[in-house]
Amino acid sequence: DWRRIAATSAASATRPKMSGTRHAEVMEEGGFTIISGRGSRRRPAPPKRVAMHAAAAPSEPLRRDAAGRVAGLMSLGVRVDAAVDELRASALARRLRAVLRGLAHPACERPPVEAIICLGLGSFGTATAPRYQVALALLLREELLGEADGRAEHCTGGDEAETPFCAFDPCFDELEIAFLRSRGCAVLTRNSEGRHSSPAPGGGSVLFFMPHCGRALYSNLVQHNWRPASLASMLVLGNSFAALSGDPGAERAAAWSPLFRALPLASESPIGVPAGSAATSRGGGSGEPLFANAFNNTSLHAFDDDALRALPEGWWERSFEPPPRDGERLMSLDIVPAEA
């Protein structure tokens, strides 16, 4: 266009003429290929200008890269959908449905689940176990929120209040983020280190799906909701709290850890097979499918509202001590701190 011609003319006027045989010279500037001819009357625009024009009109390599991303997104969708279908008919899904129905019984007086927040799902684009965990998250959304596959391009992430279905993991790559958003899941952009609120904005319960997360992440979640009404509106699907309570020093940790102080108040329903069992060590033994290892020691936890409210007021106001040096080991596993 006329702008490029003007820029080229200006560049020609300020440069000495180059002599020699005509030949092609290939240069790399900002990822773009620039071909210039020496000895020609018209000089090419400076490299940066060429790169700017190329960015405005993507070159063929860029188009191939975009096509590759689309193909990768479709391939990931096929693999996750296959995992969803496999889980849907599994014994694990039947156990989970039965527990959720029991918690939703009118006798429990628990508000229905209105939001699902997923933390620590992992690199599901490249690893099998995280892919099954994402598949279970999609099944939970279908079962609890009544949305089979609602795509929502408006889900930009940032605050869980934007959508009832959201996720965060600092290891998500661009393809994984694009996939989650294509399935109506908002990808949060802020690392809250597990400090998310319950109940949901509408007053309903929140299901926190936290497969194989570190103790510090669970502890931050519990402390952030350290009130009877908030804990009573939480469901936590993740590592067995009962297994955590068996750790050395767990009883003393109640003095400084919200998670360990809350352990006796939580009811637990095992969903996955125990870690170290034949199913997890041999990958599908004992009649369990290959995805058993993705959910080993996984339980659904709930806090009983009556039991929480029966505690004396002073119990909730009692402060937490700083963790002792030897106690930090209990809380320092598998948490990515927020950037300062």
Task: List pLDDT tens digits, range 77-131.
Answer: 999 999 999 999 999 999 999 999 988 877 777 889 999 999 999 999 999 999 9
Is the pLDDT at 26 greater than 60? The verdict is: no
- The per-residue pLDDT of the chain, averaged, comes to 75
Higher pLDDT, 26 or 172: 172
Is the pLDDT at 276 greater than 80? The verdict is: no
pTM of the model: 0.74
DSSP state string for 223-272: HHT-SHHHHHTEEEEEE-HHHHHTSTTHHHHTTT-HHHHHGGGEEEEE-S
What is the torsion angle, in degrees rounded to the nearest 10, for the CA atoms of residue 241, residue 168, residue 290 and residue 277? -20
Site of tokens 């176990």:
129
For residues 13-40, give the mean pLDDT: 39
The C-alpha atoms of residue 203 and residue 190 are separated, in whole angstroms, by 23
Report DSSP state, residue 45: P
The C-alpha atoms of residue 235 and residue 244 are separated, in whole angstroms, by 17
The C-alpha atoms of residue 190 and residue 168 are separated, in whole angstroms, by 8
CB atoms within 10 A of CB 186: 24
Predicted pLDDT at 248? 63
Q: What long-range pairs does 105-110 form, CB within 8 A, spacing at least 24?
A: 109/305, 110/205, 110/232, 110/233, 110/302, 110/305
pLDDT tens digit string along 36-51? Answer: 344 444 444 443 333 3
Confidence label for 158 from pLDDT (cuts 50, 70 and 90): very low
